Amino acid sequence: MKAFVYERYGPPETLRMAEVDRPAPDVEAVLVKVLAASVNAADWHVVRGKPLFSRATLGLLRPKHKILGVDVAGRVEAVGSGVARFQPGDEVYANLLDHGYGGFAEYVSVPVDAVSPKPASLSFEEAAAVPMAAVTALQGLRRHGELRPAQTVLVNGASGGVGTFAVQIAKAYGAEVTGVTSTRNLDLVRSLGADHVVDYTTTEDVGDGRRYDLILDTVGNKSVPDLRGALAQGGKAAVTGFTSVARLLAVSLRGGKDIAQVQAHVTTKDLELLSELVEAGRVRPLIDRRYRFADIPAAIAYLEQGRARAKVVVAVP
Ligand SMILES: NC(=O)c1ccc[n+]([C@@H]2O[C@H](COP(=O)([O-])OP(=O)(O)OC[C@H]3O[C@@H](n4cnc5c(N)ncnc54)[C@H](OP(=O)(O)O)[C@@H]3O)[C@@H](O)[C@H]2O)c1
């Protein structure tokens, strides 16, 4: 099968298309014919092996995962002998971050516990856009932020992969949502249902000067005191991104109980909840760009520029 192999750290062009052996499903796994994948900000960090400390888990001298790619949607090709829940032909989606990566390939073997039925109303490309970004938004808002109806919620980076899901999820839970983005994306964020928008090019504030019950900071460019200063009494902030190692450490070390760095781990329970929100018409993945399989390095390079509007997806032949 065709796959993008990853042998050394470097820019996205370091990834090389190659013929590799098609995997066979383990006893408790499902072989998925990948029809679409999505690209995440983590991909360019991982390709470059940056920040450097991440190589402690990614591989000290060279990457230990040979094929990258975490978000996939496709059809079940074969099932392991211990799998009863799925059969060949089923349409599924999954996230492989905690399951050895491998999504930038024509086939991937996925542990059955990580596979969910694809929401029927989504195309494969739309479904592949969901897992990492939407679950990060969901876990940031609900697990760390304890999202409740009628709360005031601020989403920093509301036009990005995580932010576009976060605005819609917070609205679906009945929150009053403010989205922060730049001038060119204000209408996009309004169209997602945000009640208020803030143009970060015209203000240094965290939001619009009000205090929020919950802040989801997908950019990670705010200091801990600034985030805390924008929280209402008892409010919480969940930070998913970081713009420097110093910012990451500051949130981790000085965030306390109210400001947490989110490390999302996608579960099928989360994906099933998202499928329900999708099928109820409350959440819809937005696609910024579609790339061909051969252009995966270009898709990652585009995301690295930090200007993506919602999700970047790849059609797999
Ligand atoms: N911890 C985890 O488990 C986890 C999981 C997923 C993602 N993440 C991290 O979360 C972050 C966001 O991910 P993503 O997929 O949403 O990234 P993304 O799609 O690449 O984000 C791009 C968006 O960020 C906006 N943006 C850039 N600078 C901004 C600023 N100063 N203020 C407000 N918005 C700004 C851009 O809008 P403009 O073009 O208008 O500036 C663009 O729409 C990344 O750092 C990623 O690594 C973490």
Q: What is the pLDDT of residues 73-119, one digit of tens each?
A: 999 999 999 999 999 999 999 999 999 999 999 999 999 999 999 99
Of ligand 1's listed atoms, the one at least distance from the Cα of 312 is 19
The residues of the chain scoring below 70 in pLDDT are: none
Q: Please state, in angstroms and as integers, the Cα–Cα distance from residue 55 to each residue in 11, 15, 66, 255, following that order.
A: 15, 17, 14, 24
**In contact, 147 and 207? CB cutoff 8 Å:** no
pLDDT at 176: 98
At 136, list the tokens: 């990060």
Distance CA 54, CA 48 (A): 10
How far is the centre of ligand 1, averaged over its atoms, from the C-alpha of 178 (Å)?
Answer: 16
| 54 close to ligand 1 (CB < 6 Angstrom) | no
* The pair of three-digit structure tokens given for residue 140, joined into one six-digit string: 């940031």
Q: Is 251 in the pocket of ligand 1 (CB under 6 A)?
A: no
Are 305 and 11 a contacting pair, CB within 8 Å?
A: no
Ligand 1 site-directed mutation target among 95, 178, 182, most atoms within 8 Å of CB = 182
Amino acid 203: pLDDT: 94
pLDDT for the residue numbered 65: 87
Distance of CA 193 to the CA centre of its chain: 20
Q: What is the pTM of this model?
A: 0.97
User: Would you call 271 helix, strand, or coil by DSSP?
Assistant: helix
Cα 259 to averaged position of ligand 1 atoms, centre (Å): 18
Structure tokens at 245: 């190692």
Both structure tokens of 114: 């990580």
User: Ligand 1: does its nearest atom lie under 6 Å from the Cβ of 151?
Assistant: no
Structure token pair of residue 178: 């403010």
Q: Please tell me the distance from the alpha carbon of residue 57 to that of residue 64, in angstroms, as a whole number.
A: 9
DSSP conformation letters of 172-221: HTT-EEEEEE-GGGHHHHHHTT-SEEEETTS--SSSSSS-EEEEEESS--
157 lines ligand 1 (CB under 6 A): yes
Report how far residue 95's alpha carbon sits from residue 139's, in angstroms, rounded to the nearest whole number.
Answer: 15
The confidence score (pLDDT) of residue 166 equals 98
**In degrees to the nearest 10, what's the CA dihedral of 251, 207, 45, 52?**
-30
CA distance 316 to 37: 7
Cα–ligand 1 centroid distance for 62 (angstroms)? 27
Q: Ligand 1 centroid to 306 CA: how many Å?
A: 7
Distance 265 CA to ligand 1 centre (A): 18
